[in-house]
Amino acid sequence: MNDSIKSIDGGICAVDVKAGGIREGKYGVCVISFPKTMATGVFTTNKIMAAPVKHTKNIMENNFISAIIANSGNANCFTGSQGEEDCKDMINHLSNKLNINKNEIAIASTGVIGRKMPMKTIYKLIDNLKLENSNEASTNSAKAIMTTDTVHKEYAVEITLKNGEKVKIGAIAKGTGMIAPNMATMLCFISTDAKIEDKKLLKDSLKKAVDKSFNMLVVDGDESTNDEVILVTTKKVDVIDNDGLDSNFQDGLDYLCIQLAKMMASDGEGATKFLEVEVNGAKSYDDAKTMAKSVVSSSLVKTAIFGGDPNWGRIIAVIGYCGVDFNLDNISIAISNNEEKVYLVKNSEILGFEGTTNLKDAEEIMKNDEIHILIDLHLANGSATAFGCDLTYDYVKINAEYTS
């Protein structure tokens, strides 16, 4: 984190928005309310797209918005015309409660695909929900959208701009499984008091942050039907300078999204260890990105992480098949826990043979809850980092029993 970024409390309510969340059993509803504003989003690319995603993409393309409503426990996906009607009914119900135009409400859902929405429960939750601007309101909202998450996810930062002014960004998110490099089974709602009135600039800023964070996140390689990341701004602090968007603001948005992505990876379904794969020295950023995501996606690498086995041969195998250029005579692989770093291969010299000190030290590092794989191709300056977790028995158990 650079010196211009400071972590703060408040989650999505660190900015002047109101939020609230409530649950009944496996179902939850959260609402975020703010002055009518321009917003932007990034959405799933799955061709089977849930009704709420379709609706929100259309709303945000053509209107300013004043509220977001999200439910957990049911994805409202592949439910035909009934799902579309349920989506509209949720919006109408909130429109009446908040006395705002129905065309100013974005909507999101997460949960089981192909099930009818429990509308009586949803209506009751909306009716009983209270909106506030407080730390508690942010936390309750984050908890309301949890499905198989074991911990709620919220984060906020304060950024000092180049001109000395301060701007805040706050967010809540959910996601633990069905997580692939094109975002995840995830919802993320972000608020900022930045003033960005150019919609393309706002969208480009969010897309850059998502590409460095949620699009570098892998738990199981399955892409959801319901992913939504929405960014709203209350337009109070100008973040545009002579060079365009203040780079400190972009750094802050990147950092916030990366922290949330790391939370999701650490909370991956059944996960016991967080995995970060950093690739340096590639010919390009795209090459580094491809290799990092390939390694973090490998079931064999992920099971080795779970077993505490520094089996660097599995990493070498991924390097060989991921389609990226490299020099076979100059590859380095190291394992780290942020405090210690041990080379298993350095400039293609094998240091991690059975019985070596390096292999024993790597085995000790692999006992930690956080494992970093460092790969250097020694070709150029391409660099990228991907985030993930180990693959465990519990992942199978959780997903085998998900709808029962």
pLDDT tens digits along 274-317: 999 999 999 999 999 999 999 998 989 999 999 999 999 999 99
**pLDDT for residue 63:** 81
pLDDT per residue as tens digits for the range 185-197: 589 999 999 999 9
Can you tell me the distance from the alpha carbon of 248 to that of 253, in angstroms, rounded to the nearest whole number?
9
Judgement on whether residues 285 and 226 belong to the same structural domain of the protein: no
Q: Would you state the pLDDT for residue 32?
A: 98
Which of residues 266, 301, 328 is at a domain's end?
266
Q: Give residue 62's pLDDT.
A: 79
Average pLDDT of the residues in 265-273: 76
CA–CA dist 379, 317 (Å, integer): 19
CA dist., res. 264 & res. 342, Å (int): 27
Straight-line distance from the first to the last Cα atom of the chain, in angstroms, rounded to the nearest whole number = 43
Same domain, 250 and 320: no
Residues 232 and 356 in one domain: no
Q: Which residues contact 9 (CB under 8 A, 6 or more apart)?
A: 135, 156
**DSSP assignments along 53-110, one per residue:** HHHHHHHHHH--EEEEEEEEEE---S-HHHHHHHHHHHHHHHHHHHT--GGGEEEEEE
Calculate the average pLDDT of the chain: 91
List pLDDT tens digits, range 38-88. Answer: 899 999 888 888 999 999 999 988 789 999 999 999 999 988 899 999 999
- The CATH code of the domain that includes 25 is 3.60.70.12
Do 285 and 384 meet the contact criterion of CB atoms below 8 Å apart? yes
Calpha distance 375→317 (Å, rounded): 13
Same domain? For 13 and 144 the reply is yes
Q: How many CB atoms lie within 10 A of CB 3?
A: 7
Residues 259 and 280 in one domain: no
Residue 252 contacts residue 156 (beta carbons within 8 Å): no
Is it the case that residue 396 has pLDDT exceeding 90? no
Examine the domain organization and report whether 161 and 207 are in the same domain.
yes
Q: Are residues 131 and 154 in the same domain?
A: yes
Q: Indicate which CATH number applies to the domain containing 373.
A: 3.10.20.340
Both 204 and 233 in one domain: the answer is yes
Contact 249, 214 (CB under 8 A): no
Tokens of 149: 């998450």
- Residues tagged active-site: 185
Residue 229 corresponds to which tokens in the numbers above? 């990341």
- C-alpha distances out from residue 347 to 292, 333, 353, Å: 18, 9, 15
Domain's final residue, options 235, 250, 266: 266
235 plus 99 within the same structural domain: yes
Q: Which of 264, 153, 189 is nearest to 18 (CA)?
A: 189
One domain, residues 108 and 129: yes
334-356 pLDDT, tens digit each: 999 988 999 999 999 999 998 99
Taking only the tens place, the pLDDT of each residue in 156-193 is 999 999 999 999 999 999 976 444 444 445 899 999 99
In this structure, is the dihedral angle defined by the CA atoms of residues 252, 255, 261 and 266, taken in order, positive or negative?
Answer: negative
CA angle 367, 370, 375 (to 5 degrees): 100
Per-residue pLDDT, averaged over 378-384, amounts to 97
Helix axes 247-266, 199-212, angle to 10 degrees: 40
Q: Which domain holds residue 322?
A: 274-400
Tokens for 345? 């291969």
pLDDT of residue 47: 84
Across-strand partners of 316?
none
Q: What does the pLDDT read at residue 180?
A: 43
| The pLDDT of residue 265 | 84
Domain final residue pick, 246, 266, 286:
266
pLDDT band at 267 (very low <50, low <70, confident <90, very high): confident
Helix boundaries (H) for 155-270: 199-212, 247-266
Q: Is 383 helix (H, G, I), strand (E, B) or coil?
A: strand
In the chain, how many domains are there?
Answer: 2
Q: How many CB atoms lie within 10 A of CB 116?
A: 12
Q: Are 224 and 326 contained in the same domain?
A: no
Per-residue model confidence (pLDDT) at position 398: 62
In this structure, are 34 and 88 located in the same domain? yes
Beta bridge partners of 37: 65
* Bridge partner list, 27: 24
State the pLDDT at residue 226. Answer: 85
